[in-house]
Structure 1
Amino acid sequence: MLISVQALRALAAWMVVGVHFMQLFFDFEAHNALEYLLADKGGIGVDIFFVISGFVIFLATADKALTPWRFMLMRVARIVPAYWFYTLLMVLLVATVPSMFPYEHLEPSYVLMSLLFIAAPSEPGVEVYPLLGVGWTLNFEMLFYVLFSFALSVRASYRLWVVATLLYLACYIGPTLGLASGFYSNGIVLEFLMGIVIGMLYRRGLCRTKPWLPLLGIVGASMAVYHGADLPRALEWGIPSAISVISCVALEPYFKGSRFLKMLGDCSYSVYLIHVPVLAAGQLIAKRMGIDPYAMLLVCVVVTALGAYGSYHWLEKRPYRVLKHWFGVDDRGIISRQKY
């Protein structure tokens, strides 16, 4: 993956950490400009993730002989092990320290649907969230992967239109016919398409420009997000996210060779998964011991960063290699003829 995109992934993950810090420690009540930015704008990290996902998945499959089934196996190998680990960790925490998550419950059907990326209410009449709350975005990710897998049967230049059609059918027509959950009727899915468009432009060499233009794009996107607008999320945050992604792609020559930024990006998925349990534990300790929230935040950041580093190596990288070997796919993502 491009180092510039890795850096943006890392930034997006830590923005989401900021949102949940404000949620758990202050119930979204901002007392200064920084808290306002975290509470009100940090959620754009999810939108950046979705645009990056469309970009990465398009490029990762553009020149590879992957069948839909093999593609899904590889996505499962990449996403599921760490997600299942932290979901089961949530089961353990809710069962043993219920005061950390007072609104959660452990009905077997709810836990199972959380593990299987099936959108279901955490409680009757409550918004759809899996047991590990951040997993709601992975429900969208898995839907995107399933639909994109069907697009692998056509040329790369046509995949945008196939995925767009399938997303429209699944997210807008399906719910009206009772064939899909209304959870998916969310314009945020359009951000995957934005990422695919950026991938197509990059593949055609159309993301090269003088550095002042992408820098201007980042500034403009930041200002648009800060001032906000009464628009659907896909426009208010999706467009600035797409501008930020394509701007970082254009600045890639200035990021090359940075192992630190690559490492931050590598760990971003684990940061995303691990930070809620860490913050919840920190909030409980801070409340009981009277510790300043920002002092505890510093501790939580360190624990999250170190935990994510270990998680990337032990729960992402190693299981992915093992499963990839089992599935008979080499480093280029091509099915090994020796095994199949």
Structure 2
Amino acid sequence: MLISVQALRALAAWMVVGHHFIQVFFEFDVDTPLAYLFADKGGIGVDIFFVISGLVIFLATADKALTPWQFMLMRLARIAPAYWFYTLLMALVVLAVPSMFPEAQVVPSHVLLSLLFIPAENPGGFGVYPLLDVGWTLNFEMLFYVLFAVALWVRGSYRLWVVAALLYLVCCIISPALNLASGFYSNDIVLEFLMGIVIGMLYRRGLCRARAWLPLLGIAVALAAIYHGADVPRALEWGVPSALLVISCVALEPYFQGSRILKLLGDCSYSVYLIHVLVLVAGRWVAERMGLDPYAILPVCIAVIALGAYGSYQWLEKATYRTLKRWLGVEERVIISRQKY
């Protein structure tokens, strides 16, 4: 895994944490510049994740003779166990301490659909969300994995076009025609996976190398575009700047190489994403009962999220992934790029 991408994954995860802190504690009603920035822009962490996902999946499969079945088994082994664990933990918390999540409802059919990555209306009445609401992004991820698995039947140079065609078919024709999950899959955010694939193709061709000033300029332009925003679809407003951030960081890879801390932060980012809402809501619940200021409880929440994510990565994600790969009899090599710096 590219260390620059790991660093960006970590940054994206903690941006989402900041965004949800403002939502959970203040319902986005804030009056300080930094809080407003997280409230208004923190959600872009998801877009960065999607671009990175397209990049990583393309690079991870580029030099392998994987069948679609093997690919899906490995993706499920990597993504599902931790998500299932925290979904079931969420169900237990809602049942045991209903006052902590007053809007959440544990309905067996909805829990099952959540575990199967099938979008469905949340019984709480706030849209198409799984029980662990951050899992809505994983529903898109699983769609991307299924379509990319189909694209494995063709040569690597054609996979972008196959995935693009399949995304168009599912999201622009089938989903609206059948009104799948209230049009959930019609979101243009799916285009960000394609942006990641394009970056992966450029990287393998050695076209992501540049003097430091150029990617730094790219980062500055991307941040300026994110800050000012535009009244355009999300894939343009946040997807394109996210892609520019990713390709700029990839071009700076020589300056990131060898950083174990950044690698670890990136490794833990998935668990950070999965557990942070549970921790933040628990923090709000405690703060309300003890009369604490939200910003006083924030450092405790950050520490619990960080430590919890580390433990989750080491003993839940990594351990179950290795065990499942052994049981399933499939292997996934470390990404080794042909590009030399």
> TM (normalized to structure 2)?
0.96
1:180, CA displacement in angstroms? 3.5
Q: Deviations over 1:77-98 (max 9, x none)?
A: 0000000000000001100111
Deviations 1:124-177 (A, max 9, x none): 864100000100000000000000000001010000000000001111101233
Match of 1:338 in 2: none
Deviations 1:208-247 (A, max 9, x none): 0000000011011001111111010000000000000000
Question: 1:178 Cα shift?
Answer: 1.0
Q: Which residue of 2 aligns with 1:72?
A: 72
Q: Count residues in correspondence.
A: 333
> More deviation in 302-311 or 290-299?
290-299
Alignment RMSD: 1.1
Counterparts of 1:312 and 1:125, CA distance in 2: 32
Aligned equivalent of 1:330:
331
1:282 aligns with 2:280: no
Q: Which residue matches 2:304? A: 303
> Which residue does 1:294 correspond to in 2?
295
Give the TM-score taking structure 1 as reference length: 0.96
- Structure 2: where are the runs of 5+ without partners? 335-341
Which residue of structure 1 aligns with residue 20 of structure 2?
20
In the other structure, the counterpart of 1:337 is none
> Displacement, 1:294?
1.0
Q: Structure 2 vs 1, CA of residues 179 and 23 (structure 1 numbering), >3 Å: closer, same or farther?
A: closer
- The alpha-carbon deviation at position 330 of structure 1 amounts to 2.9
CA distance in 1, matches of 2:78, 2:100: 29
In structure 2, what is the Cα distance between the partners aligned to 1:330 and 1:54? 20
CA distance in 2, matches of 1:47, 1:132: 19
CA distance in 1 between counterparts of 2:145 and 2:331 reads 20
C-alpha separation between the residues in 2 aligned to 1:154 and 1:175?
25
Indicate the percent of aligned positions where both proteins have the same amino acid.
74
What is the aligned partner in structure 2 of residue 165 from structure 1? 165
Indicate conservation of the 8 Å contact 2:8/2:266, yes or no: yes
- 1:1-340 alignment to 2 at 5 Å? 1-123=1-123, 126-178=126-178, 180-181=180-181, 182-332=183-333
Q: 1:292, CA displacement in angstroms?
A: 1.4
Does the aligned pair in 1 maintain the 2:268–2:309 contact within 8 Å? yes
In 2, the alpha carbon distance for the partners of 1:177 and 1:247 equals 38
**Residue type at the aligned position of 2:88:** L
**Residues 274, 219 of structure 1: alpha-carbon distance in 2 compared, 3 angstrom cutoff:** same
8 A Cα contact 2:283 2:297, kept in partner: yes
> CA contact under 8 A between 1:170 and 1:180: conserved in structure 2?
no
Q: Secondary structure of the equivalent of 1:206?
A: coil
Once the two structures are superposed, what CA deviation does each residue of 1:263-295 show, in whole Å capped at 9, x if it has no partner? 000000000001000000000111111111111
Unpaired runs of at least 5, structure 1: 334-340
- Where 1:177 maps in the other structure, the secondary structure is helix
Aligned-partner residue type, residue 321 of structure 1 = R
| One-letter code aligned to 2:292 | I
